[in-house]
Amino acid sequence: MSSVSENALHLPGDSPLHRLAPQIKLVAAFGTVLCVVATPRTAFWAFGGFALLLGVLAGTARIPPGWLARRLLIELPFVALALVLPFALGGERAEVAGLALSVPGLLAGWNILAKGTLGLFTSLTLAATTSPRELLLGMQRLRTPSTLIMISSLMLRYVGVAVGEAGRMRLARISRGDDPRFLWQANATARSVGTLFLRCYERGERVHLAMVARGWSGELPEPGRGRPGARDWLLGLSPALVTAAIAGVALWTR
């Protein structure tokens, strides 16, 4: 699983956010983002409150600000959309720095920018404080069917192998002079995708046989760990509750 941990965004640590039971974190993260999305876009103060809350959480979890800022750049294409909208849309115009911009466009752009960034901020905080293994445990405790958990855990265990294999094939292609620039030059790439499928599938067959040989009966044991009580749930869900309160006030005073 080492390769996945390298690629995934998990930052090992021992903050209260790291220690919180994963199922609580999952519920809290989904609840928070849903409340952010439900907030009317003209309630600007509410978005300031959300950003402050998430900032406090990231600080508690000791997530480096530079790390967060770099990962927030995934948003860039949506930022581009947000910047185009004030020019592209019609309706009422407003003068901003000498340019006549569309008011609905400005609001729509702001809406995507603010909610997208806050949503990504939440996802990053969740991903940084939850390891892949904990995430699966959380999904399992939230009653995800065991077949899905099993597929997911095997996927996470072998995704590093598959990605590494794909990387080696790419290296082999490039070192033999492959430099595709047009779609009709993609033949070698596609052949490696086909080979990758064969290798993954055959590895699956071997893994299954190895599991059977070691007495696999079709169920994964759940790692024993204390279940969280009502207090943990209340504490863990408090950011989501604060978000819900802000969103409620924003909707009320609209």
Partner 1 sequence: MHTTPLALHMTDGLLNAPTALLFGAIALAGIGFSLGRARATLDDRTAPMAGLVAAFVFAAQMINFPVLPGVSGHLLGGALVAILVGPWVGTLCVSIVLVVQSLLFADGGLTMLGANITNMALIGTAAGYLVAVALRPLARRGRTGLLITAFLAGTINTVMASTGFLLEYWIGGTAGFSVAQAVLPMLGIHLLIGVGEGIITALTVGAVAAGRPDLILLLRESRQGERTRTREDENRRSQQRGTVEGTS
Which residues inside 169-198 make contact with partner 1, applying CB under 8 A? Answer: 170, 180-187, 189-198
For residue 35, the minimal CB distance to partner 1 (Å) is 8
Helices (H) and strands (E) in the chain, counts: 11, 2
- What is the spatial distance between Cα 138 and Cα 108, in angstroms, rounded to a whole number? 35
Task: Give the interface size with partner 1 as a residue count (CB under 8 A).
Answer: 92
Tell me the two tokens of residue 144.
């995800």
Among the listed ranges 12-20, 99-107, 221-229, 230-238, the one in contact with partner 1 (CB under 8 A) is 99-107
83 binds partner 1 (CB under 8 A): no
For residue 99, the minimal CB distance to partner 1 (Å) is 17
- What is the spatial distance between Cα 252 and Cα 122, in angstroms, rounded to a whole number? 24
DSSP 83-116: HHHHHH--SSEEEETTEEEEHHHHHHHHHHHHHH
For residue 215, the minimal CB distance to partner 1 (Å) is 13
Binding residue for partner 1, selected from 7, 42, 238, 253, defined by CB under 8 A: 7
Per-residue x/- marks for partner 1, 110-129, CB under 8 A? Answer: -xxxxxx-xxx-xxx-xx--
109 binds partner 1 (CB under 8 A): yes
Footprint (CB under 8 A) of partner 1, residues 216-235: 218
- What is the spatial distance between Cα 145 and Cα 85, in angstroms, rounded to a whole number? 42
- What is the spatial distance between Cα 87 and Cα 101, in angstroms, rounded to a whole number? 6
78 binds partner 1 (CB under 8 A): yes
For residue 24, the minimal CB distance to partner 1 (Å) is 14
3-state secondary structure 1-15: CHHHHHHCCCCCCCC
87 binds partner 1 (CB under 8 A): no
For residue 15, the minimal CB distance to partner 1 (Å) is 18
Q: For residue 141, is it left (φ>0), alpha (ψ between -120 and 50) or beta?
A: alpha
Helices 103-129, 22-38: inter-axial angle, 10-degree rounding: 180
Per-residue x/- marks for partner 1, 135-174, CB under 8 A? Answer: x---------x-xx-xxxxxxxxxx-xxx-xx---x----
- What is the spatial distance between Cα 58 and Cα 13, in angstroms, rounded to a whole number? 12
For residue 222, the minimal CB distance to partner 1 (Å) is 16
Residue 83 or 231 having the CB closest to partner 1: 83
Among the listed ranges 57-65, 82-90, 93-101, 227-235, the one in contact with partner 1 (CB under 8 A) is 82-90
Sequence-ordered list of residues with C-beta below 8 angstroms from that of 110, at least 6 positions apart, any chain? 41, 82
